[in-house]
Amino acid sequence: MARPGAPLLLLAAALGLCAVYYLGAGRESQSPAPAPAPRRFHLLLMFTKAARSSALQARGQAALRSLLRHARLEPGQALHLHFVSEPRSRQIAQGLLRPLLPGLPFPCQVIFHDVDVLTEQLFPVVEAMQKHFSAGSGSYYSDSIFFLSVAMHRIMPTEIERIIQVDLDLKYKTNIRELFEEFDHFLQGAVIGIAREMQPVYRHTFWQFRRENPQTKVGEPPPDGLPGFNSGVMLLNLEAMRQSQLYNQLLEPDMVRQLTEKYHFKGHLGDQDFFTMIGMEHPELFHVLHCTWNRQLCSWWREHGYSDVFDQYFRCDGQVRIYHGNCNTPIPED
């Protein structure tokens, strides 16, 4: 997996944990036929600037603990945890993982990607869109990492065909393998699985387009409206993203400019804004996850001008599988 832009550091090597290797490690096989390679489930987390925030460390610890407590894999399957970090945060992540990895009932490999290397690769691809979907008015080099999911298919090794990117402020209530099974439900042409935004964020952002198009579904609540997406949980079919001519055309600066002008769009939420905007134009690119896979808890917009319609966006029926404590909202205790 040693490719430019994706240098890897295995936590297994740092800690000497045999638990992170494949089942059967350390035992010589008497069979002349080699064992089949395990099916790998790739999960990616952003973990940067952790030394500055004890709250971030606590969220990361809680997320990893709940993830690994509920995770169950079949024989021949392995979990690969990818962390995007700088050196200090990498050390902190290693410390968080040290008590969690031993004794896992399945192989788990931990891989660290250097945030500066990824940023260097991302910037040429996403520079043009940053001014439309970032805070401020410029295209700042450091902001590129917030668009990792948009162009991950361009920089990850080709042998990684599917990956799930998740936020740190999550609490898992079910087996993560069930979320990977959602890939099997993608329709033809879909490249990304993502849940709807559960606040009227984009009712607000698209205000001018909605005023000019009073019958539009853009920004309207579910089930019939298009409320936009939330990037807390994203299923990225990297191989489909690589193969999709439509998706890659939408990354071109001219296409981004045309769509932002059409929708009068100016956001500050990075990849989430980009996916929301192109989802208004090409919903066929997306597999919509049920709200229970990303049960967002933030209710900021209820108190900021949208109390009359808030519950139409916020409602989520069903047993929650992943809680998302966005905007620092407390997550219910077990």
Q: What CATH number is given to the structural domain containing 146?
A: 3.90.550.10
Over pLDDT 90: what percentage of the chain? 85
Give the pLDDT confidence score for residue 24 in this predicted structure.
Answer: 29
* Structural domain contains residue 333: no
Rounded to 5 degrees, what angle do the CA atoms 6, 9, 14 make?
A: 175
Distance CA 210, CA 219 (A): 8
Whether residue 14 is contained in a domain is answered as no
Instruction: Answer yes or no: is 217 within a domain.
Output: yes
Q: How many structural domains compose the chain?
A: 1
Mean pLDDT for all residues in the chain:
90
**What is the C-alpha to C-alpha distance for residues 178 and 321, in angstroms, rounded to an integer?**
10
Specify if 309 maps to a domain: yes
The residue ranking higher by pLDDT, 268 or 334, is 268
Whether 30 has a pLDDT exceeding 70, the answer reads no
Residue (of 186, 211, 170) closest to 287 by Cα position? 186
What pLDDT is attached to residue 98?
Answer: 98
In angstroms, rounded to a whole number, what is the distance separating the alpha carbons of residues 221 and 312? 6
Mean pLDDT for 208-227 is 98
Give 140's pLDDT tier (boundaries 50, 70, 90). Answer: low
Note whether residue 238 is domain-resident.
Answer: yes
Q: How confident is the model at residue 135 (pLDDT cuts 50, 70, 90)?
A: confident
Residue 22 lies in a domain: no
- Checking if the pLDDT of 41 tops 80, the result is yes
Task: State the residue range of the domain holding 324.
Answer: 38-328
| Predicted local distance difference test score (pLDDT) of residue 334 | 82
Model confidence pLDDT, tens digit, residues 59-93: 999 999 999 999 999 999 999 999 999 999 999 99
Question: What is the pTM (predicted TM-score) of this model?
Answer: 0.89
Tell me, yes or no, whether 69 lies in a domain.
yes
Q: Tell me if 222 is assigned to some domain.
A: yes
If you average pLDDT over residues 269-275, what whole number do you get? Answer: 97
- What's the CA gap between 80 and 43, in Å, rounded? 6
